[in-house]
Amino acid sequence: MACIALACSDTVTQRWLPLPQPYTEDEARIFALQIAPQVLASGSGVERAIEVDGQFVGVIGLKGTDCNVAKTEAGYWLGPWARGRGIAAKALCAITDWALDTQGIGRVEVMVAPGNTASLATARKSLFIEEGTLRRAGHLHDGPVDLVILSRLADDPRPALAQL
């Protein structure tokens, strides 16, 4: 739980995600032991740890899954110790391919605040296609924020994982 709390307390993570402030080990425990299992049990999504060489580095997930229209939204974050190595792009490709290939999903969306250049780069590197900007569609600690919407469809080109 300490690694989740540390990553979610990071100033960059806090800037782009509307997480509790402060983000404590109790918050991490609630996320890992209550929220993530509830999301899975409800069928609305899935949350998974990202590990590299056995070390926790972040979280990748799907949320807002709607099987009636075969779409879901991917979200991801990394601890500061793991950024800048292409880990998020590999995780995003893996969960997207899994959803498109095995879960009956035809569309995976990513929504990112325009100023979050690292997250936008991750989505673009994963061959998500930018569709536009949703005005005031999100909320961060500073208030409402626009969100850039990107998507990948089941029949869109896929990046070669070896190139990520």
Cα separations in angstroms, 153 against 35, 93, 121, 128: 28, 12, 18, 9
Query: pLDDT category, 1, cuts 50, 70, 90?
Result: confident
Q: Encode pLDDT of 48-101 as tens digits.
A: 999 999 999 999 999 999 999 999 999 999 999 999 999 999 999 999 999 999
The C-alpha atoms of residue 38 and residue 19 are separated, in whole angstroms, by 18
- What is the DSSP secondary structure assignment for residue 33, as one 8-state letter? I
pTM for this entry: 0.94
Looking at the predicted structure, is the pLDDT value of residue 164 above 90? no
CATH number at residue 110: 3.40.630.30
What pLDDT does residue 162 have? 61
Number of structural domains in the chain: 1
The stretch 10-30 carries a mean pLDDT of 94
Question: Structure tokens of 108?
Answer: 């995976």
Give the domain range for residue 39.
2-163
The stretch 95-112 carries a mean pLDDT of 97
The C-alpha atoms of residue 105 and residue 142 are separated, in whole angstroms, by 33
The stretch 122-138 carries a mean pLDDT of 97
What pLDDT does residue 160 have? 81
Do residues 14 and 23 lie in contact, with contact meaning Cβ atoms separated by under 8 Å?
yes
